[in-house]
């Protein structure tokens, strides 16, 4: 069967196909940017309208008792279902960077691990900046960044060797933002545990598209944002998970009142909450939490196993298309071919990556617009969110790319850039 027919067939048999109608879609656009900002679900508009107009506009302060204090608990509970943690081990609030800071600070202060901070060159820059800001609390006053042959693939042997010979606090992105490389969680957590190390997993590019089972994988600590595959909206709060055996040994460096066991007693003495709530600081951002609630509902209804299965299928299909249609035009797949080691985006490389992205986004020659991400210096990220991206969308994308490359259309475009690419 040819690849076009295959794509159409796969869409027809897709058990998740009804989920697309839950989101605002544009028929003239293929949105492959799910891994920077997920789409807006219709219900989120209604939920936000209700919270703004009724709960805030009409009911004002009483909404804290009637709705908002409970909302955070409800969201935390739904997140615990998604990652299979116990209640009281995961909370949603504040940015990924802030949660990373709090947890790394807590680990360094706890004396449970060597005071060494180690990451690798595949990690997201913000994480490296946060670690760097805490280097004065380490024994050597510096952080170590393991470098591989390139910034695409992890050298697992080298990483494991480091964990064995240089135990301490590791921070890794479960799915690498640039290449989609997916780390073998269970294997690395085992090596860490056997060698007195802990790995803080940044799941920003993994949550909502890969199966994260904190119990099965023995994850001790995880963080991650909710605005990508969980469709929580721009700047929606992140999650922080800490397993209960470690949680009791850690304290939050930002001792705000929402981390207190009884914030509304207004006691002058700080007594931390006994569960993950001790890592909360100030008043939760209710308007940003409302969309997360709905994003989690949609993901839980679809089922993470089904989402992951479709994501793998989409990825394999896209790689096949690229190999058949684009490789003779200088396009290289930088993401792992083996789906066991791949998240939900494929990164392709081409020396004209930026100008190609501009053409895709512009809908040049009245074609459908395709929205990818550009990551320096030659990477085009094609993110496929299984809840609203179909197989034929990928077929159409590759055909548009083929036309751009065959006709060298990028030569007609200038190199100027906006801030967000
Ligand atoms: C892997 C990863 N980690 C951390 C961050 C930073 O998240 P935040 O802006 O919530 O601090 C991002 C943002 O895109 C990310 O992709």
pLDDT digits (tens, 9 = 90+) for 51-110: 999 999 999 999 999 999 999 999 999 999 999 999 899 999 999 999 999 999 999 999
State the pLDDT at residue 152: 87
Which residues belong to CATH 3.40.640.10 in the chain?
Answer: 45-302
Atom of ligand 1 nearest to the CA of 97: 11
CA angle 311, 315, 319 (to 5 degrees): 175
Domain 3-31+303-412 -> CATH class: alpha beta
Mutate to test the pocket of ligand 1, among 175, 177, 344 (most ligand atoms within 8 A of CB): 177
- Ligand 1 centroid–CA 288 distance in Å is 16
The CATH classification number of 45-302 equals 3.40.640.10
394: Cα separation from own chain's centroid: 21
- Ligand 1 centroid–CA 228 distance in Å is 10
Atom of ligand 1 nearest to the CA of 227: 10
Tell me if 241 sits within 8 A of 214, measured CB to CB. yes
Distance between CA atoms of residues 228 and 236, nearest Å = 9
DSSP string, 222-264: EEE-SSSTT---TT---EEEE-HHHHTT---SS--GGGBSSGG
Which residues belong to CATH 3.90.1150.10 in the chain?
Answer: 3-31+303-412
Distance between CA atoms of residues 229 and 198, nearest Å = 26
Instruction: Round the average pLDDT of the chain to a whole number and report it.
Output: 97
Distance between CA atoms of residues 382 and 275, nearest Å = 39
How far apart, in Å, are the Cα atoms of 231 and each of 24, 245, 284, 345? 12, 31, 19, 16
Give the tokens for residue 112.
């449970």
Q: Which residues contact 31 (CB under 8 A, 6 or more apart)?
A: 25, 39, 371, 385, 388, 389
Counting as low any pLDDT under 50, the low residues of the chain are: none
The radius of gyration of the chain from alpha carbons, rounded to an integer in Å, stands at: 22
- Ligand 1 centroid–CA 53 distance in Å is 31
Angle in degrees, 0-180, between the axes of helices 3-12 and 304-325, rounded to the nearest 10: 170
- Ligand 1 centroid–CA 177 distance in Å is 9
Mutate to test the pocket of ligand 1, among 33, 173, 204 (most ligand atoms within 8 A of CB): 204
Q: What is the residue whose two structure tokens read 């990483």?
A: 159
Angle in degrees, 0-180, between the axes of helices 156-165 and 185-194, rounded to the nearest 10: 20
State the pLDDT at residue 418: 81
Distance between CA atoms of residues 173 and 127, nearest Å = 9
- Ligand 1 centroid–CA 223 distance in Å is 10
Quick one: which H or E segment has residue 170?
strand 169-173
Give the tokens for residue 412.
């007609």
Residue 21: burial class (beta carbons within 10 Å; 0-12, 13-18, 19+): exposed
Report how far apart the first and last C-alpha atoms of the chain are (Å, whole number): 36
Distance between CA atoms of residues 295 and 366, nearest Å = 33
State the pLDDT at residue 381: 96
State the pLDDT at residue 414: 87
- Ligand 1 centroid–CA 174 distance in Å is 12
Tell me if 391 sits within 8 A of 314, measured CB to CB. yes
State the pLDDT at residue 364: 87
Mutate to test the pocket of ligand 1, among 124, 223, 347 (most ligand atoms within 8 A of CB): 124
Pick left, alpha or beta for residue 265 (phi over 0 → left; psi -120 to 50 → alpha; otherwise beta).
alpha
């Amino acid at each position: 069967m040819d690849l076009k027919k295959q794509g159409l067939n796969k869409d027809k048999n897709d058990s998740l196909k009804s989920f697309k109608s839950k989101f605002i879609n544009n028929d003239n656009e293929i949105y492959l940017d799910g891994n920077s900002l997920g789409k807006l679900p219709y219900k989120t508009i209604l939920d936000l309208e209700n919270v703004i107009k009724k709960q805030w506009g009409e009911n004002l302060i009483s909404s804290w008792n009637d709705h908002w204090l409970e909302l955070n608990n409800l969201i935390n509970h739904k997140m615990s279902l998604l990652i299979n943690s116990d209640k009281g081990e995961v909370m949603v609030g504040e940015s990924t960077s802030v949660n990373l800071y709090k947890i790394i600070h807590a680990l360094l202060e706890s004396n449970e691990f060597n005071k060494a901070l180690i990451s690798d060159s595949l990690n997201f820059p913000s994480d490296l900046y946060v670690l760097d800001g805490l280097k004065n609390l380490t024994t050597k006053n510096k952080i170590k960044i393991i470098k591989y042959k390139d910034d695409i693939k992890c050298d697992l042997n080298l990483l494991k060797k480091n964990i064995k010979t240089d135990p301490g606090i590791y921070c890794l992105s479960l799915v690498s933002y640039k290449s989609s490389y997916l780390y073998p969680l269970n294997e690395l957590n085992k090596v860490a545990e056997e060698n007195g190390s802990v790995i803080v997993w940044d799941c920003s590019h993994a949550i909502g598209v890969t199966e994260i089972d904190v119990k099965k994988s023995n994850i001790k600590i995880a963080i991650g944002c909710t605005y990508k595959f969980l469709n929580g909206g721009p700047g929606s709060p992140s999650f922080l998970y800490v397993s209960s055996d470690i949680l009791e040994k850690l304290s939050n460096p930002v001792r705000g009142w929402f981390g207190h066991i009884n914030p509304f007693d207004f006691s002058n003495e700080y007594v931390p909450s006994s569960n993950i709530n001790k890592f909360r600081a100030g008043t939760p951002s209710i308007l940003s939490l409302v969309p997360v609630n709905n994003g989690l509902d949609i993901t839980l209804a679809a089922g993470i196993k089904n989402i992951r299965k479709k994501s793998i299928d989409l990825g394999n299909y896209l790689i096949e298309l690229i190999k058949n249609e684009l490789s003779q035009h200088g396009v290289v797949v930088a993401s792992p071919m083996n789906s066991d080691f791949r998240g939900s985006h494929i990164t392709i490389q081409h020396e004209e990556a930026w100008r190609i992205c501009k053409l895709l986004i512009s809908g040049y020659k009245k074609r459908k617009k395709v929205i990818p991400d550009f990551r320096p210096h030659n990477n085009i990220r094609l993110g496929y969110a299984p809840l609203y991206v179909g197989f034929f969308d990928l077929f159409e994308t590759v055909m548009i790319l083929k036309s751009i490359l065959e006709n060298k259309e990028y030569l007609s475009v200038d190199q100027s850039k906006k801030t967000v690419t």
